[in-house]
Amino acid sequence: MEKDRRNFLKKASAAGIGLSLSPSIAFSKKKKKKNKALIGLIGVGARGRSHLKLLLNRSDVEIISVCDIDPEAIEKSKKMIREAGKKMPEFYTAHEHSYQEMLKKEKLEGVIISTPWRWHVPMSVDAMKCGVYAGVEVSAAMNMKECWDLVDTYEATKVPCMILENVCYRRDVMAVLNMVRQNLFGELVHFRGGYCHDLRSVKFNNGKQYYGGGVEFGEKAYSEAKWRTKYSLMREADIYPTHGLGPLAMYANINRGNRFKSLVSIASKGVGLHDYILNHPKGGINHPNASKEFKLGDVITSIITCENGETILLTHDTNLVRPYSLDFRVQGTRGIWEVDADKIHLAGKTKDHHWDKASETWLKEYDHPLWKKYEKDATGAGHGGMDFFVIHAFVEAVKNKTEPPLDVYDAAAWSAITPLSEASIQLGGEPQTFPDFTRGKWMHRSPIYQQPTDNILL
């Protein structure tokens, strides 16, 4: 039946992407265990190839096709596939819309999208319309229209879209999830998170290397600086909210008994990028980029209010010299965890008014069952192993035809931070209201990983 549906979808879309689906085509929810997931990749730059590597490691994945317009990315991918001794997939390389041809022609069950941000939503939407599970890199959407496009397409097709937020699977994040689910923090009241990452050498390079070595961006640059820096130039918003927000949304059961209600955002002055260009050996006052005015404030601070009364402090901080941090805090009536200080306090368990060092005590004791089970498989995977888990969750959902744990409503609600923060900042901090992307379903949906053994992953 599942196959029929996909065949129908492909036929329906033969006349071009943009078909509208009958809502009667319901997505089958019954689990059927399957041997292999048939996966394609759109975008095999640095990030996409890191996913490719994980997929090549798996015996339950067949890589059907790969799409990219950069010959270097394609060559590097071919080499990886060859060296892994896997069957060479089909390649789609002709132009920016070749991915649509791939979605239509190939017998795909899921596609992993690791392209510049502007392509995330069009590609996810097209994948869903072709009956292919969309696994989309973060952020999923960059404006409110795109958020709704994701939701509307999912609701029309019932083909899932998973936001590939790897930080939800970080080992400490999952240990804290385990503790949250076991009520160790009591009633949750306040959260902090953010993306505090000195990206100056990601936003600028010399056109030859991935990171640094110059102050170029756009056409003269290489890799991410080619397209990503433009968002710092042209938008005053939290342009990359999900790494800091995803885990907190999971703790707070957002879209599952709770939801984001409103947000205020304030931007600091933006002087970091200009300062970097001025003081770089390859930059200086006479460099053309020294006259560019970057719209993005150096530190964007947002406060989100949730339906159940919790508040979330969210920070975007990528233009200043600083070591990496996701700034997590989880705080309730019975305890508090702070990631940067590696501190935890649990009422009646830690000494009164004193901290325990979190990593050495409670995070070990409450190591999540998923991590215990898959620790070996995760070893060597990107970002300390968490990339294994997010890809694993996607592949399992594809194989079993189940809903992924992080879904289209999460993608929409988390991504909505970008346009809402932009509006709030422009209005001097005026509160902005979140759309209810679930259209009321948040009241009835169940939290993920409610029991550590819940969901598809075990």
The answer, yes or no, to whether the previous bond of 139 is cis (omega within 30 of 0) is yes
267: which DSSP letter? E
Which token pair is 413?
Answer: 């609600």
Rounded CA separation 231/225 (Å)? 10
Taking the complex as a whole, the smallest distance from the CB of residue 442 to a copy of itself amounts, in Å, to 18
By beta-carbon proximity to a copy of itself, the closer residue of 233 and 278 is: 278
Burial of 220 (0-12, 13-18, 19+ CB in 10 A): middle
Considering only residues 167-186, where is the footprint of a copy of itself by CB under 8 A?
186
Work out whether 211 is an interface residue with a copy of itself (CB under 8 A).
no
By beta-carbon proximity to a copy of itself, the closer residue of 269 and 372 is: 269
143: which DSSP letter? S
Work out whether 359 is an interface residue with a copy of itself (CB under 8 A).
no
By beta-carbon proximity to a copy of itself, the closer residue of 41 and 267 is: 267
Q: List CB contacts of 275: < 8 A, sequence separation 6 or more.
A: none
Taking the complex as a whole, the smallest distance from the CB of residue 179 to a copy of itself amounts, in Å, to 15
Q: Which of 31, 322, 364, 373 binds a copy of itself (CB under 8 A)?
A: 322
CA–CA distances in Å: residue 255 to residues 58, 300, 305, 406, 411: 31, 24, 14, 10, 11
Q: Which of 339, 317, 335 is nearest to 327 (CA)?
A: 339
Rounded CA separation 75/68 (Å)? 10
Taking the complex as a whole, the smallest distance from the CB of residue 136 to a copy of itself amounts, in Å, to 28
Q: Strands (DSSP E) along 333-457, which ranges?
A: 335-338, 343-346, 356-357, 432-433
Work out whether 72 is an interface residue with a copy of itself (CB under 8 A).
no
Q: Which of 69, 80, 290, 347 binds a copy of itself (CB under 8 A)?
A: 347
Work out whether 88 is an interface residue with a copy of itself (CB under 8 A).
no
Q: Which of 53, 105, 190, 287 binds a copy of itself (CB under 8 A)?
A: 190
By beta-carbon proximity to a copy of itself, the closer residue of 156 and 313 is: 313
Rounded CA separation 232/274 (Å)? 11
Rounded CA separation 253/86 (Å)? 40
By beta-carbon proximity to a copy of itself, the closer residue of 75 and 340 is: 340
Taking the complex as a whole, the smallest distance from the CB of residue 429 to a copy of itself amounts, in Å, to 4
By beta-carbon proximity to a copy of itself, the closer residue of 98 and 350 is: 350
Taking the complex as a whole, the smallest distance from the CB of residue 272 to a copy of itself amounts, in Å, to 6
Taking the complex as a whole, the smallest distance from the CB of residue 298 to a copy of itself amounts, in Å, to 5
Work out whether 90 is an interface residue with a copy of itself (CB under 8 A).
no
Q: Strands (DSSP E) along 209-355, which ranges?
A: 260-267, 299-306, 311-317, 329-332, 335-338, 343-346
| Residue with token string 């990983």 | 449
- How many residues sit close enough to a copy of itself to count as binding (CB under 8 A)? 50
Taking the complex as a whole, the smallest distance from the CB of residue 458 to a copy of itself amounts, in Å, to 33
Considering only residues 239-298, where is the footprint of a copy of itself by CB under 8 A?
262, 264, 266-269, 271-272, 275, 298
Query: Are the C-beta atoms of 317 and 300 separated by less than 8 Å?
Result: yes
Q: Which of 206, 308, 359, 400 binds a copy of itself (CB under 8 A)?
A: 308
By beta-carbon proximity to a copy of itself, the closer residue of 304 and 390 is: 304
Rounded CA separation 432/412 (Å)? 16
The residue ranges that bind a copy of itself (CB under 8 A) are 186-187, 189-190, 198, 262, 264, 266-269, 271-272, 275, 298-299, 301, 303, 305, 308-311, 313, 317, 320-324, 331-336, 338, 340-343, 345, 347, 353-355, 428-431
